Chains A and B, each alone.
Chain A
Amino acid sequence: MSSTAISTQTVPKKTPLRRWIKRIASNYIVRMLSRAVFTIWFVTSLIFFLVRLMPSNPIEVYINELIVQYSLPYAEARDQAASLFAINLDAPLHEQYFEYMVQLAHGNLGTSLRSPGTSVWEIIVAFLPWTLFSVGLGLIISFILGVFIGMLLAYKRQAWWESGVSGIASVLSSIPNYIIGIVLLVYLGVYWNLVPIHQMRGSRSPGIHPGFTWVFIKDIFFHAALPILTYVLSTIGSWILSMKSSTIGTLGEDYVAVARARGLSEGRITTAYVGRNAMLPLITQLLISIGFVVGGSILIESIFVYQGIGYRLLAALTTRDYPLMQGIFLIITISVVVSNLLADFIYGWFDPRVRVAGGER
């Protein structure tokens, strides 16, 4: 955005190079990508300086811990901490920062404090897929279901069940997701005893090996069922309500009336004219909700003891495993930013108007 502001000032002198730079800078994809990279850099730096400048500096805390636990001399404890955090403690802060960034660029996130010898990267690779799987599937199911139910409600506004379904949607959308998770666990798992809650813990049963086998696929769905159900229930309400109001708005548009007048079939009007346009604002909402749901996974996964990245993050937080915590937070941010980027591109594909530079509001 600032780039477009600069380029409008340089309009009078239009050398071919300048024009070329301007075209790249105002390109939709370039703009989106640079914003994504900037966001990741911003969050990484924020966490870097927070961890080091806070009054209870975690590195000092760790050094003290080593001294107390293993009665090491200060210098030795400091060396050990430095090697674990993969930083040079004697260097000034900006050099540490530069060093950290270089390490990051090489994909080196350091090693875990609590499970020595394991790199942060290995832990992330082991835990992240489960979160992406459960959150992604939950959001997709809830989005598709929500869009259908929302459209149905908009079309059947006179039906007797309309207000009931809308009411349930409004209740579901206002209750925090972890509350829904707890209620599911208490009633389905304990009070009515419908599901074997203890066997469903973890992300897969011991002794079952990954692969494209029916046993494995059945097993991972068995373990992910309750987290996915929670994600679906906690997000579907808002999809239903927004799709309903969006569809009602679209039904009143002139082009729908024109399409009817042209004698197009109702099915085609519903999908190509009403559905596609009514879904547009929901895609931006999907973009914001991805971040929210991934962030909320720390709560949901802790409730169901589902071993995803959120569960691991909580463990890292309670044991003060700072390198791991920093790494997981970075990965969560990256996955949120990347999914936002994807959503932006999908939005641009659905609605070509936004691809024009400077077209935002």
Chain B
Amino acid sequence: MTTQALMPKTGIRYWPGRVLRGAGRFLKLMSRNKTGFVGFLIFIFFVLMTTVGTWFVPQATSADITKIYVPPSREHLLGTDSQGKDILSQIVHGGRDILQMALLTGIISTFIGVALGSLSALIGGGFDSFLTMLADIWLTIPRFPLLAVLATLVKLDNMLFLALLLSVLSWAGLYRSIRAQVFSIKERDYIEAATALDLGMWHIIFSEVLPNMLSYIAISFTFGMTSAIYAQVGLVFLGLVPLTRNWGVMINLAWTQGAIFFKDSVYFIMAPVTAIALFQLSIVWMSRSLEEIFNPRLRTG
């Protein structure tokens, strides 16, 4: 609301200008933290590669026995795999699943954590102590083995279901930090004023408490994404989740076919490995810039 008041009234006609200016402001804030900005750029690169990139790079479907483990050349920028398929194409097409699932898990787990954390801190009493105890127990459950066990009982190839499952399994850590944060915000004057005005629980949560926790939420969102990527790629790598186009599948294939023990196949295994590592790193780095944007006190210089 404050940003609208500060901006000149341009009218509905000039909304592209407003969007551009907003984007410019966002970029300027992002670029304050160098590491964060680099992370942001890499992240955008991955998003573009997995969405727009798929239009330009044809999908490698047919095997070509004459071109097994061809080293990088102009035709195959990253060389070919054990079946003669282009590696670059597999990288470009293999990221979409991971990206979608990471975003979905980030959104769902953040929602669960924020909702339960703020409700617990605002309602208090038995509800709060019950949830706190449950979260303490939940945190000690070994998550990845449980997922691996579940993968043998249920088919985890449905993206939404997997994202939901991952979120449910990882709500506790987020819940804890949000609850602690709401507890500290709850005591402040403006919340007491809102309570005195009887503005209602949801108004207090969404209009008074949430805006003051945006940096926490942004961090937890990125954390949800990274842990989702860890779990999904790990499951796929172990061969427990049947997916077809995925960086984890590439590692799994390189693994099961013994390609890992040939010197020539180093691009086949290192390409998806580098992609996953860079993608994770970009999200973690990006979270630093996000933290600064939503928490102006951290801004330096």
Contact = CB atoms under 8 A, between A and B. Distances in A.
Contact of A291 (B140, B148, B234, B238): B140
Interface in A125-164: none
Contacts of A58: 152-153
B153 A314 contact: no
B137 interface: yes
A171 B283 CA distance: 11
Contacts of A39: 137, 140-141
A296 interface: yes
Nearest to A180: B277
* Interface size range of chain B in the complex: 35 or more
Contacts of B270: 183, 186
B145 A298 contact: yes
A35 B148 contact: no
Interface string B107-142: 000000000000000000010011011001101111
A302 B139 CA distance: 24
B281 interface: yes
Interface string B229-268: 1100110011110000000000100000000111100100
Interface of A (DSSP majority class): helix
Interface residues of A, number: 53
A298 B239 CA distance: 12
A179 interface: yes
Nearest to A167: B35
B144 A295 contact: yes
Contacts of A337: 140
A347 to B, nearest CB: 14
Contact of A336 (B142, B173, B273): B142
A325 B147 CA distance: 12
A308 to B, nearest CB: 13
Contacts of B234: 176, 178, 296, 299
A264 B273 CA distance: 50
A205 interface: no
B145 A54 contact: no
A186 B126 contact: no
A325 B149 contact: yes
Given A56-B153, A182-B269, A299-B234, A170 B284 contact: yes
26 contacts: A2-B133, A39-B137, A39-B141, A47-B149, A54-B153, A170-B284, A170-B285, A171-B281, A174-B284, A174-B285, A176-B230, A179-B277, A179-B280, A182-B251, A185-B260, A186-B269, A288-B139, A291-B143, A296-B234, A298-B145, A298-B238, A302-B238, A313-B145, A317-B151, A329-B149, A361-B183
Question: 3 smallest A-B Cβ distances: which pairs?
Answer: A295-B142, A174-B284, A295-B144
